[in-house]
Amino acid sequence: MAVPTVLLSDLELDALTELVNLGVSNAASSLREMVREEVVLSVPKVTEVTREQAIANLTEREAKRLVAVHQDFEGDIRGRALLIFPEAKSMELVRAIVGSELAVEDIMELEQEALAETGNIMLNSCLATMANHFERSLRISLPEVIYGEGAEFFGPSSGAHADDRVLFMFINFAVRHRDVQGYIAMLLDLPSLATLKVLLGALIERTAGATIVAPPHDV
Amino acid sequence: MARIGEIVTHKVLIVDDSKLARMAVVKALNALRPDWLRVEAGNADEALARINDQSPDIVLLDFNMPGKDGLLFAAELSRQYPQIAIAVISANRQVEVINRAEAVGATFLPKPLTEKALGDFLSAAVARQAAAAR
């Protein structure tokens, strides 16, 4: 049986993008307190792609090695959320958090911790915003830092299957003069994406309230 | 000047690239001021066109939008249309964002928007405009 290429409607993707926007904006407010400088965000863009397309997207944008922080979540929907940056820029982020005056070896030592904490803030904020709006709870694992290339992050060892869909969320966040660029990706299996569609539909209905009048009959 | 008994209605322009976010604002507006007129726009360019052909007296702006962001647009609007009351709505509660909103004469409202926050802003906007018209 052929799997439909796109499961989410435009309005469902719009709603999901707005949830990511809310989550990342909240996270930026927390991150600002850590780096003591304004965190500038780009407009988030959410696309639903296959695992192969997600890997291609990532390697197209960044050929070099990447660092990711990932957290697994389960509840009504289950999957993995990743915050991904180019390896070089991850050190910039660490410097912004721990201060540039520290010696290189001290920064190296703190790198894992600083990345895990940043990932924890960004990813938890997105997942918690989604859970709250869906009125569902999600159990979220502790953050883990991984190094590698795009294919490895979305590969079979990530728990993803060949037919899994990936919600690829692109958002650029910059700490003033430091060019720190990040992507958020979410891996969901097909049953979870179908559930996500139902949850987004319910959210849209609740948000619309009485403002959307259903057509009197089907044409 | 409005005579006693005359209904003064207001027109609110809602600017957000997300349809869901506009729906949320419309729902709050419906609960608070069901008789007010509403106009929607998905970005700053569209909003400018609606301001020219619909003349709203209150503008609710999303901050993080493609093209011109809500704060840049608010700065332009308050220069060109000082009579319009502007609110910038965002989940991005960084002190720099709030300060910039206030510097251009806009009110910062946190997202998700509560009826209380929106209601307070609308009442203040109406009072300010009524005082200016006197």
Q: What are the tens digits of pLDDT across the range B23-43?
A: 999 999 999 999 999 999 999
Residue A150 domain-assigned (yes or no): yes
pLDDT above 70 (res A22): yes
Which chain B residue shows the shortest CA-CA distance from A30? B94
Q: Give residue A218's pLDDT band: very low, low, confident or very high (50, 70, 90).
A: very low
Give the count of Cβ contacts less than 8 A between chain A and B.
64
- What residues in A contact B26, CB-CB < 8 Å? 211
pLDDT band at A216 (very low <50, low <70, confident <90, very high): very low
Spatial CA neighbour of A72 closest among A167, A163, A158, A184: A158
Using the Cβ of B91 and the Cβ atoms of chain A, whether some distance falls under 8 Å is answered with yes
Give residue A113's pLDDT.
87
| Residue A213, pLDDT above cutoff 70 | no
Q: Where are the beta strands (DSSP E) in chain A?
A: 39-41, 45-50, 66-75, 79-86, 138-140, 144-148, 165-170, 173-175, 183-188
Partner-chain residue, chosen from B17, B21, B91, that has the shortest CB–CB distance to A26: B91
> DSSP assignment, residue A178?
B
Q: Using a CB–CB cutoff of 8 Å, tell me whether A11 touches chain B.
A: yes
Are the CB atoms for A145 and A68 separated by under 8 Å?
A: yes
Q: What's residue A162's pLDDT? A: 58
Cross-chain residue pair B92–A29, CB shorter than 8 Å: yes
**A218 found inside a domain:** no
What pTM does this model have? 0.85
User: What is the rounded distance in angstroms from the CA atom of residue B126 to the CA atom of residue A173?
Assistant: 37
**A215 within domain boundaries:** no
Mutate to test the interface with B, among A9, A43, A45, A133 (most CBs of B within 10 A): A43
Kindly report the number of other CB atoms within 10 A of residue A27's CB atom.
Answer: 28
Confidence of residue A190 (pLDDT cuts 50, 70, 90): confident
Chain A residues lying within 8 Å of B19, measured CB to CB: 11, 14
- The alpha-carbon gap from B75 to the nearest alpha carbon of chain A, in Å, equals 18
Whether A214 maps to a domain, the answer reads no
Per-residue pLDDT at A160:
52
- pLDDT 10s digits, B46-59: 999 999 999 999 99
Among chain A residues, CA nearest to B21: A18
CATH number, domain at A149?
Answer: 3.40.1550.10
Residue A189, classed as helix, strand or coil, is coil
Confidence band, pLDDT 50/70/90 cuts, at residue A159: low
CB contact under 8 A, B17 and A43: yes
Q: What count of other Cβ atoms lies within 10 Å of the Cβ of residue A53? A: 15
A212, pLDDT greater than 50: no
Which residue of chain A is at minimal alpha-carbon distance from B66? A43
In a domain, A161, yes or no: yes
Q: Please state the domain count of chain A.
A: 1
Residue B121 CA to residue B108 CA, distance in Å, equals: 9
From A103-117, B26-40, B117-131, the region with the lowest mean pLDDT: A103-117
Mean pLDDT of chain A: 82
Give the pLDDT of residue A1. 44
**pLDDT mean over A161-181:** 75
Say whether pLDDT at A157 is over 60: no
Averaged pLDDT for residues A21-47: 89
Do residues A73 and A141 make contact, with C-beta atoms less than 8 angstroms apart? yes
Does A43 contact B30 at a Cβ distance shorter than 8 Å? no
What mean pLDDT value characterizes chain B?
Answer: 93
* Residue A133, domain member (yes or no): yes
Out of A16-20, A151-155, B37-41, B89-93, which region has the weakest mean confidence (pLDDT)? A151-155
- Percentage of the residues of chain A whose pLDDT score is greater than 90: 32
Can you give the residue range of the structural domain that contains A184?
A: 10-208
Q: Do B20 and A14 touch (CB under 8 A)?
A: yes
Residues A175-201 have a mean pLDDT of 84
Q: Has residue A217 been placed in a domain? A: no
Q: Is residue A216 part of a domain?
A: no
Residues B87-109, mean pLDDT to the nearest whole number = 96
State which residue of chain A sits closest to B96, comparing Cα positions.
A38
